[in-house]
A = this chain, B = another copy of it.
Amino acid sequence: MKLTIEDIKAFAKAAFSNSRGSHDWEHTRRVYALCMHIGEVEGGEMEVLKIAAYLHDVGRSAQDESNGTICHAQKGAEMADALLDGLAVTPEQKTNILHCIRSHRFRGNQQPETLEAKILFDADKLDSIGAIGIARAFQFAGEVGAKFHNPSVRPEETRPYTEEDTGYREFKLKLSKIKDRMLTAEGRRMARDRHAFMEQYFERFLQEYEGKR
């Protein structure tokens, strides 16, 4: 008996049972939804996108538990490899899905080459920005015990994963650069729209912080 896409979904969901609020199964669900949207606009192979989206972060807990020495994209592809033999996909589809997973990481060694890999890459980055990105940045700051804001120090001079890792730091050093890394036209359009909202948000944030608005 062959596995179904629902089995893949259940497997992926189980891989996040110990994860925190800012990077979890819900992230995977949002990336899946974004892949479906971008895939419809850009014309990707939806079956490949569905499976790759569900499985793209299943190696995350291995990376976390190894304190970053294991790469979650590489590990995720290894975990998916065996699983995909039980699924009704062609050898070409399997190769593509594993490539999608292996190349989705922002700082990975492997660049996305297929359309589906580019779509997954874009969807994964889009979920870091916009209103969702703002919320994730502040929730993460709460999880690591960061200050709320740190206006007396330039963000460039602060350290990640400490009490200095504020939402504004995340925006200035990381999130504001994501729009320039997108690989598909629809991903780029959405990233610019989400970026413009973050700019508007943080402009207001700084004004409110000074009691000016």
Interface size class of A (residues with CB under 8 A): 35 or more
B208 and A194 form a contact (CB under 8 A): yes
Query: Of all chain B residues, which has the CB nearest A123?
Result: B211
| Oligomer copy total | 2
Chain B residues near A205: list those with CB within 8 A.
131-132, 135
Q: Which of A9-45 contact B (CB under 8 A)?
A: 20-22, 24, 26-27, 30, 32-37
Decide yes or no whether A81 CB sits under 8 A from chain B.
no
Query: Of all chain B residues, which has the CB nearest A168?
Result: B135
| Interface residues as binary, A122-138 with B (CB distance below 8 Å gives 1, 0 otherwise) | 01000000111011101
| Interface residues as binary, A170-213 with B (CB distance below 8 Å gives 1, 0 otherwise) | 00000000000000000000100110010001101100111111
A37 and B132 form a contact (CB under 8 A): no
B148 and A37 form a contact (CB under 8 A): no
Query: Of all chain B residues, which has the CB nearest A132?
Result: B208
Chain B residues near A24: list those with CB within 8 A.
148
A147 and B212 form a contact (CB under 8 A): no
Decide yes or no whether A142 CB sits under 8 A from chain B.
yes
Decide yes or no whether A59 CB sits under 8 A from chain B.
no
Decide yes or no whether A111 CB sits under 8 A from chain B.
no
Chain B residues near A30: list those with CB within 8 A.
208-211
| Residues in chain A within 8 A of chain B (CB atoms) | 20-22, 24, 26-27, 30, 32-37, 123, 130-132, 134-136, 138-149, 163, 167, 190, 193-194, 197, 201-202, 204-205, 208-213
Closest 5 CB pairs of A and B: A142-B142, A33-B211, A138-B138, A139-B142, A131-B205
